[in-house]
A and B are shown apart, each in its own frame.
Chain A
């Protein structure tokens, strides 16, 4: 993964806000992952167009004063390994 990598949600997953759980969730065949606050904020910005650097910059604008590069790249790698995300081919 580099700062230019563009991620998108894998085909079978849907990402949405669930008011009843006050959380973002990932839905897939017969299953659900309830996301923690920061995971939800990161995935909300994964749109199949923004590179990692843009996602980090946007998060740092929303949550000023912290360097988030490492947290974001670690989570994105985790989400890719879990199969939630895939790298968008150029």
Chain B
């Protein structure tokens, strides 16, 4: 508790601005990636916000101080009002980022988006080979993505090339980096899969071994030394192999605000799965109330909510107890310490998974098939929603 200047008592400090606004414009997507971070029951949420509603979201978040804007999805190019939204974003002073599979981008649209003032395009690849790219996304999109990447550069956009890493492609990191250099990417994100959504359902088939991870890091570091400043490479490690949790979202309700296709405002794109929290819809509440005052956004702010070992941990100001969604998925309670922390009493649940991966016993005793992100799978998994899916 702290006294404010007016003499009133406030239970917590005023939150800072939501610097990052991620708009998941649609859950529609032509790809079917096995590690998709969309909710596994996405087929339930069909009623997308209208153009007018999205424009209001952009204005309200900008008033709260949002500066970075992500157009994401699903595949955001499925929205034919993307150009309108990009123009408003520019007018409001956002730095706007299109996060795309590339499917749906053509000369006409890329020129219109440039004209509207879109600042940057992130193109995802699944792998450096056509076979694996197309296998993992369950589409034939590899050649198309290469054409799109060239188009992005030809139109003078900065380009981030994003590849989600996992057991099936992590050994190709050298070739992936060669491809990124050939396509003249300005930044490369080698993002190891985070295990939520479809990726959690496929976790034991996607998690690389520690040896694979170390090899990939070695290859990446050597490449970095060779490329210098020409291409910046980010390597996101899978936290299952860490002994401290990531500072997820830099803290709950701290800098990140996500609005889903159907208008629900979330403190991270996975938070919708957490039970007992009511996330408001931008159709019925304004973002100022949602961000500053709504019970859900305040639920895990600060450290009052923490249990041991987090509550008395000297590192709680650094990692905020890790990720609430991972704590819930693995331990059953979002208030628990993120189980990747080796101080967590549930850390064994992570160790058991990595041990099965190391011993190669995964396929025999757990799911033998990869689940693709498609409508049929989503409807099947929706029956089990609000409970862990694997």
Q: How many A-B contacts if CB must be within 8 Å?
A: 46
Binds A, one of B48-56, B63-71, B100-108, B376-384: B63-71
* Given known A12-B186, A16-B93, contact A31–B68 (CB-CB < 8 A): yes
Asked if A29 meets B65 with Cβ closer than 8 Å, knowing A14-B119, A16-B93, A20-B17, the reply is: no
Could you say which residues of chain B place their CB within 8 Å of the CB of A16?
Answer: 93
Docked-complex contact A29 and B120, CB < 8 angstroms:
yes
Contact A25 B67 (CB under 8 A): yes
Is there a chain B Cβ closer than 8 Å to A58's Cβ?
A: no
From B66, which residue of chain A is reached at the shortest CB distance?
Answer: A20
Residue of B nearest to A19 (CB): B65
Asked if residues B67 and A28 are in contact (CB atoms below 8 Å), the reply is: no
User: Considering the chains assembled together, what is the distance between the CA atoms of A28 and B68 in angstroms?
Assistant: 9
* Contact residues on A (Cβ < 8 Å of other chain), bracket: 10 to 19
Q: Is A27 an interface residue (CB 8 A)?
A: yes
Write the nearest CB–CB distance from A27 to chain B, whole angstroms. 4
Across the interface, name the chain B residue whose C-beta is closest to A16.
B93
Complex CA distance for A29 and B119, rounded to whole angstroms: 8
**B residues near A20, Cβ cutoff 8 Å:** 17, 64-65
Q: Does B187 contact A (CB under 8 A)?
A: yes
Q: Which of B218-245 contact A (CB under 8 A)?
A: 229
With CB as the reference atom, state the residue of chain A lying closest to B120. A29
Any chain A CB within 8 A of the CB of B158?
yes
What residues of chain A lie closer than 8 Å to B160, measured between beta carbons? 29-30
Pick 21 A–B contacts, CB within 8 A, sort by A.
A11-B156, A12-B119, A14-B95, A14-B119, A18-B65, A18-B67, A19-B65, A20-B17, A20-B64, A21-B65, A27-B119, A29-B119, A29-B120, A29-B122, A29-B158, A29-B160, A30-B68, A30-B122, A30-B160, A32-B19, A32-B67
